């Protein structure tokens, strides 16, 4: 995973910081590598890996990828969007949303309200 991040992900951080842009190509490369689905059951298109394997892979990605915004977005998608769908979503919601979240075509967002 470290080599993937160092070789495959574009690291023009200074330029993107100045322009305020998000590099869609990196998001898609991460999705194609299967990162979003590491811990997701195979039934829903994931890799079905255990949590320790998933955390090791994410740690390695962090070592290889200096783009902290990308690693934050990846983790936000996995733990604040996908995990609640897996834990609390209906079967219909899982079938509807997880494939797109795992292949990178859907970017999720976590939202909440207070009374």
Q: Could you report the per-residue pLDDT of 19-35, keeping only the tens digit for each? A: 988 889 999 999 999 99
Residue 96 falls within a domain, yes or no?
Answer: yes
Domain range for 26:
2-103
pTM, full prediction? 0.89
Residue 36 falls within a domain, yes or no?
Answer: yes
Residue 65 falls within a domain, yes or no?
Answer: yes
Residue 113 falls within a domain, yes or no?
Answer: no
Nearest to 98 by CA among 112, 113, 84: 84
Q: How far is CA 29 from the centre of its chain?
A: 10
Residue 111 falls within a domain, yes or no?
Answer: no
| CATH code (residue 39) | 1.10.540.10
- Band (pLDDT 50/70/90 cuts) for residue 91 is very high
């Amino acid at each position: 995973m470290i080599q993937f991040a160092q070789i495959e992900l574009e690291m023009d951080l200074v330029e993107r910081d100045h322009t305020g842009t998000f590099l869609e190509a990196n998001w898609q490369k991460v999705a194609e590598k299967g990162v979003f689905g590491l811990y997701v059951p195979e039934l829903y298109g994931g890799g079905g890996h255990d949590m320790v394997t998933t955390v090791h892979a994410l740690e390695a990605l962090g070592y290889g990828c200096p783009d902290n915004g990308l690693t934050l977005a990846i983790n936000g998608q996995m733990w604040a969007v996908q995990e609640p769908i897996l834990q609390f979503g209906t079967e219909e919601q899982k079938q509807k949303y997880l494939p797109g979240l795992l292949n990178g075509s859907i970017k999720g967002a976590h939202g909440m309200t207070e009374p």
